[in-house]
Structure formats: structure tokens, C-alpha cells
Amino acid sequence: MRWAVQLSEFDVQYEPRGPIKGQVYFDFVVELSSAATHQEGAGFRWVLSVHGSSNQQGSGAGVILEGPDGLLIEQALWFSFKASNSQAKYEALIAGMLLA
């Protein structure tokens, strides 16, 4: 609300964007889930596990993607930017989705 008042003198309106990234990932998961349920009888199942953490030395994440027939892909990430634990976990999820 404060932005609306400050920008009103310049004839500019502030409109918050909302959770666009979250909706995109939600749509992706729903689409992937519906495709997996159709093929699950054929042994088609992928499992994505992610973990991110941060401390004074930096932040990083781990991604494990398990596929059919024992396929296992492991990825370790080190971030060159300062991130909180929640941000590191979110970045790990993004990296895992890209890996998938």
C-alpha cells in the first residue's frame, strides 16, 4: 500500500506480480505426475530428492535423481551468492527440475 501512495504522484501504479515461479513449478509437477501415473505400470518412476543449506562459509545444495532400472544421478552445487537455508533449498529444487 505504501508503494501505491509514493508512486501515485508520478502517475505510476504498483501491481504486485504474485507467485509466478511457484505456479510454473506446480503446473510442471502436475503434468509430470499425470504422465507418470499412465506409465507407472511399466516401471516408469523418477524420484527427485533435494537438500540445500547455508552457513558462514557459503551455501550449497545436493540433488539426487533416481530413475527406472536403478539409474542414479547425483549433483552437488556450490552457490557463488549468499543465500539463506530456504533459498538454497529452493535453488536445489530448481536445479533438480532442470536436471529432470
Angle at 54 between CA 49 and CA 57, to 5 degrees: 135
Same domain, 50 and 38: no
Question: Are 35 and 4 in the same domain?
Answer: yes
On the question of pLDDT at 20 being above 80, the answer is: no
Q: What is the pLDDT of residues 59-82, one digit of tens each?
A: 988 888 888 878 888 888 888 888
Q: Does residue 75 sit in the same domain as residue 91?
A: yes
Cα–Cα distance for residue pair 70/47, rounded to 1 Å: 11
38 φ, ψ (degrees, to nearest 5): -70, -30
Residues 70, 85 within the same domain: yes
Contact of 86 with 14, CB cutoff 8 Å: no
Q: Which domain holds residue 21?
A: 1-42
Domain tally, the chain: 2
**Mean pLDDT, rounded, for 22-26:** 71
Claim to verify: residue 50 and residue 35 sit in the same structural domain: no
Q: Which helix (H) or strand (E) holds 53?
A: strand 47-55
Residue 39: is its pLDDT beyond 60? no
Phi, psi (deg, nearest 5) at residue 42: -90, 10
| CA pair distance 91, 74, nearest whole angstrom | 15
